[in-house]
Each structure stands twice: as C-alpha cells, then as structure tokens.
Structure 1
Amino acid sequence: MFDLTDQIALVTGGAKGIGKGIARVLASAGATVIIADIDEAVGKASAEELNGHYFYLDVSSHKSCKQLVSAVIRDFERLDILCSNTGIFPQCDLVTMTEQHWDEMHDINLKGTFFMVQAALEVMRPQSYGRIVITSSITGPVTGFPGWTHYAASKAGQLGFMRSAALECARDGITINAVMPGNILTEGLQAQGEDYLEQMKAAIPTRSLGTPDDIGHAACFLASKEARYITGQTLIVDGGQVLPESPEALAAVR
C-alpha cells in the first residue's frame, strides 16, 4: 500500500522543515520528488540529499507558480501529487501588527496556496487524476496562540479554500485534503528557544514534539491512490494536543 512508484510529486517549501519531511517520505515511497523553494542553496542541497529535483519558486507570485508547473510538465510530462506546504509564521502581537505584516503572511500562506492549487489543477484535470495535500495547522482552525492572529487566520482560510476547491474537482479524479500539524520539531520551532519547546511538550499528552516525517507519513497517505475516496478532509497530527478539555485532564494522563 501507498506505493508511489512512477508518481511525480511536487513539494513546495520542501527545502527544510515539514516540507523536507514530506519530500523524504514521498521519495521513500517511490515518488519522483521535486522540491520547490525560494531558498535555492538549501533547496538544491535537500534535493541532492533525497535524490530529487529542485526548482525555484516564489509562491506569492502567480507567474512563478505557473512557470513552475509548466517546467514540471516540460521535464516530467505530468504532475500527480502537489503538496502545497510553503508557509511562514513570524510572531507579532495584534496591537503592533501592521498591514504589511498581515499581507506578507497571507500572500505566502493563503494566496500562495491558491496560486499553486490553481496552477496544478490546469494539468491535473486533463489527466483525470491528482492528489493535492495542503499543510495547514491546528493553530487557527482549532486552537489559538498569542502573537499569531495573522498566521491563524491564514491557516483557517486554507481549510475554507480547500473544502470548496475539493467540490469543484470532485468528478475530475482529483482529491484535495489537508494535514494539520501541531508542534513539529523544525528549524523554525527550534528558533523559538528551549523554554518554548519545553512549554509545548508539557501541553502535549505524548509529552513529545512531532517530527517532519510524522507529517510526511500523513501526507503520503492522502497522496496515495488508496485515498481516492477521501476529499475535502483534514487530518490532525499533533500527539493529542487538542484533546484535553482542561489542564486537569492533561494532568491525569499517565
């Protein structure tokens, strides 16, 4: 099951973090993996490490997204899987947030998702096949965290977009789903500092942070042929973080 041999998989934001974990798992399942990222040096290094391919991408540019998909079709003739993963999460309190802060977050996280999914659908529809997996988050759709109102809004917006988009291509052999990571030990999370990491571990029933590969395995399932009857759905991968109804419930976990 979940054999992706001969599948062409495009992972945006695949140079590091969750994106690299997704790319690694897809490659291990047999897919030909294309890492698309704005960071050329790190992207090329990750592609070489995973025996994949690198293409430049700025998801905030409609032109860049369309050019990327055109290049994939030129070199590989088809596109079977899109993992729309690119995202940023700079912290900023609401009272000091500027329009620029808001727009940058949404240009990359939300508008970038729209640009990439739209570009992918142009080639997936003629194929009558496609798997699209969006990386959202528990923050926004399920939980909140001070300093990330703009991030939370962008991630909740991705899910609203996904559900309607899934309906539009439901009869085209294309599924669109989302993974919703909790706290995953990436370079970005490590940058928040050790105190933050320990606080996050204490809030998770498993008392552990997830790994990028944990998200990769979830994405691999949703990207598989076996997941053909699942569309417009979300899969939370968070070690049970959203489960406790109170601090007492969490403290009772043995």
Structure 2
Amino acid sequence: MSDKTIKQLFDFSNKVVVVTGGSMGIGYGIVKRFVEAGAQVIIADLEEPHEKIQATFVKTDVSQEKDVENLFSVIKKDFGRLDVFINNAGIFPSATVADMTLELWEKVQAVNLRGVFLCCKGAAQLMKQNQGGSIINVASIDALHPSQLGLAAYDASKHGVWGFSKNFALEAIKDNIRVNAIAPGGIRTEGVEKMTGGAVKAGAVNDETMKQFTAKIPLGRFGQPDEMATVALFLASEASSYIVGEIIVADGGYLLA
C-alpha cells in the first residue's frame, strides 16, 4: 500500500505521457489534465491543437507503422523514457452495413484497432527500459453494447480494442506495465457533432434519435472531455496500482437504462 499523499499520487512531474489523437475532443481534455499535473506531454496526431499548450507535437498517423516507429524514435531521443501511453486516436464515420464500403470498413479498423496494436507494442518496448508504466486504451460503451444504428464498423473496432486490452494486460504485467481501458459514453466533442450530423444525412439517425439517446442517460446529458480526462489520470496514477486489465465505464449511467 502506498504511503504517498493524494497530492503525491497525482503528481506527474518528470513523467513522460503520450496521448494519441490529443489535439481535440477527449484527447485534448486528457492532454490538459496531464499538463496541469506536471507531466511532459507528447501529442501524437495528424494536426496540431488549435490552442497553444505546453506539449510536444509529433505528427502521427497511428494506422501507419512508419509513423508510429517515428513517434517512438522521437520519444526515445528527446525524452529518454516513457511512463504513460494513452491510445485515444479514433474515427467513427456513420454508415449502415448495407451502404458501407470495404474501404470505409478497413479504414476504421486500421485507425481504431491496428493503431492500438502498433502503439501498444512500441510503448511496451520502451516502458520495459524504465521498469514499467501504464497503457490506457480508450474504447467505448459500444465495446459492451451498441449505442445506435450506423456504427457497425466502429463497434467492431472497439470490441477489438477491449478484447486486445484484456489479453495484452496479461502479457504486459510481467514487465510491470499495467494495461487498462476506458469506455466513454456520449461525450460532447467536435467529432461527435460531426458524426451525428453525417449520420442524420445518411438516414442512420435523426434529431429524434439523438433526443432518445440523451433521454436514456440517467444523468440527462452528454459527458464532457474533462470527465474522461480525470478517469485517465486515475488509471495512469499510483492510485490505481492494483487495477490491471479492467475497463472503466464513464457513461452517465447509459448502460443501466
């Protein structure tokens, strides 16, 4: 049992933290909290954040092996260690199975699942050098139960992320690397706004569908990125030192409805 104070448990000074998809939405919320906690933060994304923040940006397409290899080369060269890696990058275009192209299906799996595999592999190799670390994979409530029509490709990828996380947790813990996952529910982000707008046009959902989705959330509202960031902070900290291979659902009670 740790003899550290609460303040010490959540102090990430001198810790190196990487967040994929960290330029907006949930990822950016996570970045802000870790910067506040004193961490040296690296954002791995396709575009830089719109706001200035004390973090290092490395342009990265997580679905491309060479990009991921470059990311870890930068981490090793410029920081020399890795303590926390958060796989947050993801896409969720909406299309019914009847209308879905193979290209769309494969793109979703490449970003959401292949990206997690490539980054977990690289992160674990680097974490071994500093006797452990924490890997957090952002899954979704859709890994546990479908939330709406039109997300079959996304749901398949997130089921994969959760299954991969559990198995990899067994493998990585021997090197003192804890692997866990987060299952966000409906979170108000730029991506969700874009996705729901596209889904309405595709006929997969409509305004009434979104009202019904919100009505199923016992809290009566969508979540905010910061509400996922604090979960990530907990899983990355020593406050969760006995948690391995678990998924934390943060959905306002949606799965209870």
Range moving further from structure 2, 4-13 or 225-234: 225-234
Corresponding position of 2:3: none
Stretch deviating more after TM superposition (74-83 or 23-32): 23-32
Q: Does structure 1 retain, via aligned residues, the 8 Å contact 2:81–2:129? A: no
1:6 to 1, 4, 14: 14
1:227 is aligned to 2:226: no
Separation in structure 2 between the aligned mates of residue 200 and residue 69 of structure 1, nearest angstrom: 39
Cα drift, residue 120 of structure 1? 0.7
Q: Partner of 1:108: helix, strand, or coil?
A: helix
Could you tell me which residue of structure 1 aligns to residue 226 of structure 2?
A: 213
CA–CA distance in 1 between the matches of 2:145 and 2:240? Answer: 24
* Among 213, 225, 228, the residue aligned to 1:200: 213
Structure 2 spans left out of the alignment, 5+ residues: 1-5, 198-205
State the identity as a percent: 38
Aligned counterparts of 1:127 and 1:171: Cα–Cα separation in 2? 14
Cross-structure match for 2:144 = 141
**Separation in 2, partners of 1:88, 1:187:** 12
Which residue of the partner structure matches residue 56 of structure 2? 53
What is the rounded CA distance, in whole Å, between the counterparts of 1:137 and 1:172 in structure 2?
27
| Deviation (angstroms), 1:200 | 2.9
Structure 2 residue identity aligned to 1:5: S
- Partner of residue 240, structure 1: 253
Q: Does 1:162 align with 2:165?
A: yes
Gaps of 5+ in 1: 245-254
2:44 pairs with 1:36: yes
Q: Counterparts of 1:67 and 1:188 in 2: how far apart (Å)?
A: 26
Corresponding position of 2:99: 96
Q: Give the SS at the match of 1:95.
A: coil
Please, what TM-score do these two structures have when normalized by structure 2?
0.89
Instruction: Determine the C-alpha separation between the residues in 2 that align with 1:144 and 1:208.
Output: 15
Residue 66 (structure 1) shift: 1.4
Match of 1:76 among 74, 79, 88: 79
Task: Map Cα deviations across residues 13-72 of structure 1 (whole Å, 9 max, x no partner).
Answer: 000011101111111122111111012xxx1544xx221111110101111111101101
Structure 1 residues 124-139: aligned runs within 5 Å: 124-139=127-142
Matching residue's letter, 2:215: A
Q: TM-score, normalised by structure 1?
A: 0.90
Distance 1:23 1:44 in 2: 10
Letter in 2 for 1:182: G
Whole-angstrom distance in 1 between the partners of 2:161 and 2:154 = 11
Q: CA deviation at 1:140?
A: 3.2
Q: Give 1:201 deviation, angstroms.
A: 2.1
Q: 2: CA distance between counterparts of 1:12 and 1:60?
A: 11
Q: 1:131–1:174: 8 Å Cα contact kept in structure 2?
A: yes
Which residue pairs with 1:151 in the alignment? 154
User: Is 2:26 the partner of 1:18?
Assistant: yes
Matched residues in 1 for 2:140 and 2:49: separation?
A: 26
Q: What CA distance in whole angstroms lies between the structure 1 residues aligned with 2:240 and 2:225?
A: 21
CA-atom RMSD, angstroms? 1.4
Equivalent residue of 1:180, what SS? Answer: strand
Q: What whole-Å deviation, never above 9, does each CA across 1:69-115 have from its counterpart, x for those lacking one?
A: 11011111111100010000000101111211110000000000000
1:96-138 Cα deviation digits (max 9, x unpaired): 1121111000000000000011011111112111110011000
